[in-house]
Amino acid sequence: MIMVYKKRIDGRKFDETRKIEAKVGVIKNADGSALFKIGKTTAYAAVYGPKDLYPRFMQNPEKGLLRCNYNMLPFSGSGDRVRPGPSRRSKEISYVTENALLPVVNLDNFPNAVVDVFIELPQTDAGSRCAGICAASMALADAGIVMKDLVGAVAVGIVDGQVVVDLNYDEESYDKGDVADIPVAIIPSTGEFTLLQMDGRIKKKDFLKALDAAKKIVPKIIEVQRKALKNKFEVKNDK
Amino acid sequence: MTNKTRIHLINYLNKDIRYDGRKKDQYREISVETDVSKSAEGSARVKIGDTEVMAGVKFEVGQPYPDIPEEGTMMVNAELIPLSNPEFEPGPPSIQAIELARVVDRGIRESKAIDTKKLCIKKGELVWTVIIDLIPINDAGNLFDAFALAAMLAIKQARFPKLNGDKIDYKTLTNKKLPLTAEPVSVTVLKIGEHFIVDPITEEEKVMDARLTVALLKDNTLCAIQKGGSMPLSKEDIEKMIDIATEKAKELRKYLK
C-alpha cells in the first residue's frame, strides 16, 4: 500500500490530540459535573445520585446501578439538525459508555440506588462518545463516587495506512483511502480497555499498532482530567 | 444464581469442558438455508445448535440523503421477539436489539459489502433502500454470529423487484442481484475468567466478563469490532480474541458458499 496520508488535514502530528480543556464543577445543581473539550468537540457531564431507584423492580439489593445517558443536542451536528430524543445510535453509545465506566466505579455501598450520568454535547467534530466518557469519569470523581481510577477515552485509527490519534470529522470521512475509526477507553493504572469499537477496514497488525498509540496517549489525557479535579479540590496552604 | 453458575462453568472450563460438552473453540452444529420467506426479496435461516434466526431483505425506493445524492442506502434492524425467549418483552427495541442490529450493520456497511453507489436510480431523486430485518426464532445464545451470517446469506440471495416508474412491483422479481464487493463474517469471542470461548450458549453469555465481536473479510481484514460486557480487556486479551475470531471466521465462511 502506498502511504499518501503524509500530513494531517489540520496540521497536527500523528500522535497528537487536538487541544484539550477540562473543568469540573460546572453545573451547580449536579452532585458532580464536568466539561471536557477536545478540539471542536464539547461534552458536558452531570452526575445525580446515588439516589433511590424507581421503578422498584429495577432495584438491585446487592449494589447501586450506574445509568448513563448520551445525547447530542439538536444543533450539535455538522450537518442536519439532530432530531431530539433517543436514537438507536445514542442508545448504543449510552450503553457502551456505562460499560466503559463500570469497571472503575464501586457502587457496592449503595444497594437499591442509582447514579445517573447525563452526557450532553452542544458541539461535535467526531470523538463525541470518547469526550463524553472523559467528562463522565471526571464528573463521577467530582461527585465523590468511590472509584479505582479515572477512565480516559480517545478515538485512534488508521487513515490511509497511517496510525493517527484523535480523528476529527475530516479524517473520519477521508475518502481517498481506507479509514478505520477505533474509539477506546482505558484504565490508566492497568492499561486495560473498557471501551473498544472499530469501524472501517484494517489489518490486525495495524489495529494493534493503533491500540498501542491509544495506550500511549491516554495517560496524557488523564493528566488533564486529573489537573482539572485537583484545581477544584486541592487544599492550598497559605502559610 | 448466576454467580453459582459462573463458578460451576469456570470449574469445568478449567478442565477444558464446556456446559454442553464442547471444546472452547468449537461451534455448535450449523445449518443454513436461503429463500425461506417467499414474500421477502431475499431471506435466510441460520441454525447454530438450538439457536435459530431468520433474516429478510426488503427493497424500497425513495429520495437519497442530500449529502449523498448518488447513493442508495441500507439499514439493518433487529427485533428480539418474545416468541424466541421468555426474557424478551414486546415493545420498542431493547438495548440488546439495538446493539445487535448496529453491530451487524457496521460489519456490512464498513466492509462496503453492498455497493450503495450502484443503488442509484436517478441522481438526487430516486434510489434503492435495502432493509435487512433480523429476528430470532429460538434464542439459545450467540445471536451476534447467527444474525451476521443470516444477514449476509439473505443479501446474497436477494433479487431486485421490478420497478415501474417510481413504484415497486413486489410481485415480479427480476434476476438482478445486489451489487456486492465484500462478504464479511462475524465471530464473537467471550471471556469468562481466564478462558476464551466461541459460540456461547445463553448460560455462558449470562456469566461472561467480556465479549468481542469481530467482523472479518476473506483476506482477514477486520471491518468492525465491538467490545461488550462490563469487565475490561487487556491488549493481550484482545489480540488473542482477534486470532481466535480470524481462525473461526474461515469455518463460518464456508456457509456463505
State pLDDT tens for residues A117-171: 999 999 999 999 999 999 999 999 999 999 999 999 999 999 999 999 999 999 9
Please report the ipTM that was assigned to this predicted complex.
Answer: 0.78
pLDDT beyond 60 at B1: no
In chain A, which residues have their Cβ closer than 8 Å to the Cβ of B225? 182, 196-198, 207
State pLDDT tens for residues B136-186: 999 999 999 999 999 999 999 999 999 998 899 998 999 999 999 999 999
**What is the mean pLDDT of the segment spanning A73-77?**
88
3-class SS at B164? strand
Where does the pLDDT of residue A3 fall: very low under 50, low under 70, confident under 90, or very high at 90 and above? low
| Long-range pairs for B1-10: beta carbons < 8 A, 24 or more residues apart | B2/B206, B2/B207, B3/B207, B5/B203, B5/B206, B5/B207, B6/B192, B6/B207, B9/B192, B9/B203, B9/B204, B9/B207, B10/B192, B10/B193, B10/B195
pLDDT beyond 90 at A237: no
Cβ contact, residue pair A193, B102, below 8 Å: no
Cβ contact, residue pair A196, B233, below 8 Å: yes
Phi, psi for A9 (deg, rounded to 5): -60, -40
Q: Which domains occur in chain B, in start order?
A: 24-256 (3.30.230.70)
pLDDT > 90 fraction of chain A, expressed in percent and rounded:
85
pLDDT score of A218: 98
For chain B, give the mean pLDDT.
94
pLDDT score of A220: 97
Cβ contact, residue pair B242, A211, below 8 Å: no
State pLDDT tens for residues B98-139: 999 999 999 999 999 999 999 999 999 999 999 999 999 999
Q: How many CB atoms lie within 10 A of CB B114?
A: 23
Where does the pLDDT of residue A81 fall: very low under 50, low under 70, confident under 90, or very high at 90 and above? confident
Nearest CA in chain B to A209: B235
Q: Can you count the helices (H) and strands (E) in chain A?
A: 4, 9
Mark out chain B residues that contact chain A at CB-CB < 8 A: 67, 93, 95, 98-99, 101-102, 106, 109-111, 212, 217, 220-235, 238-239, 242-243, 246
Cβ contact, residue pair B224, A199, below 8 Å: yes
**What is the mean pLDDT of the segment spanning B85-107?**
93
Phi, psi for A110 (deg, rounded to 5): -125, 60
pLDDT: which is higher, B86 or A198: A198
pLDDT score of A79: 75
Nearest CA in chain A to B223: A201
Cβ contact, residue pair B221, A95, below 8 Å: no
**CA separation for the pair B69, B122 (Å, rounded):** 9
**CA separation for the pair A104, A77 (Å, rounded):** 31
Rounded (10°) CA dihedral A209, A211, A215, A221: 110
**CA separation for the pair A85, A94 (Å, rounded):** 13
Please say whether the beta carbons of B151 and B108 come within 8 A: yes
Q: Which strands form A113-123's sheet, in the order they lie side by side?
A: A20-24, A32-38, A41-52, A113-123, A65-72
The length of chain B is 257
Q: Which domains occur in chain A, in start order?
A: 20-233 (3.30.230.70)
Name the residue type at position A107. L
In chain B, which residues have their Cβ closer than 8 Å to the Cβ of A94? 95
Q: What angle do CA A177, A183, A185 make, to 5 degrees?
A: 155
pLDDT score of B166: 87
pTM over 0.90: no
Kindly report the nearest CA distance between residue A38 and chain B, in angstroms.
24
Pick from A179, A190, A198, A216 the residue to mutate for testing the B interface (most B CBs within 10 Å). A198
For chain A, give the mean pLDDT.
94
pLDDT score of B3: 83
pLDDT beyond 80 at A4: no
**What is the mean pLDDT of the segment spanning A97-121?**
96
Concatenate the DSSP letters of all residues of A123-157 into one string.
Answer: E-SS-HHHHHHHHHHHHHHHTT--BSS--EEEEEE
Concatenate the DSSP letters of all residues of A51-78 into one string.
Answer: EE-SSGGG--SSSPEEEEEEEE-TT-SS
pLDDT score of A1: 45
Where does the pLDDT of residue B63 fall: very low under 50, low under 70, confident under 90, or very high at 90 and above? very high
**What is the mean pLDDT of the segment spanning B207-228?**
96
pLDDT score of A239: 59
* Strand pairing category for B210-216 and B222-228: antiparallel
HSE-CB for A4 with a 13 A CA cutoff:
9
Taking alpha carbons only, the member of B64, B30, B34 closest to residue B47 is B30
Q: At B7, list the grid cell.
A: 463458578
**What is the mean pLDDT of the segment spanning B59-75?**
93
Q: At B31, list the grid cell.
A: 445449518
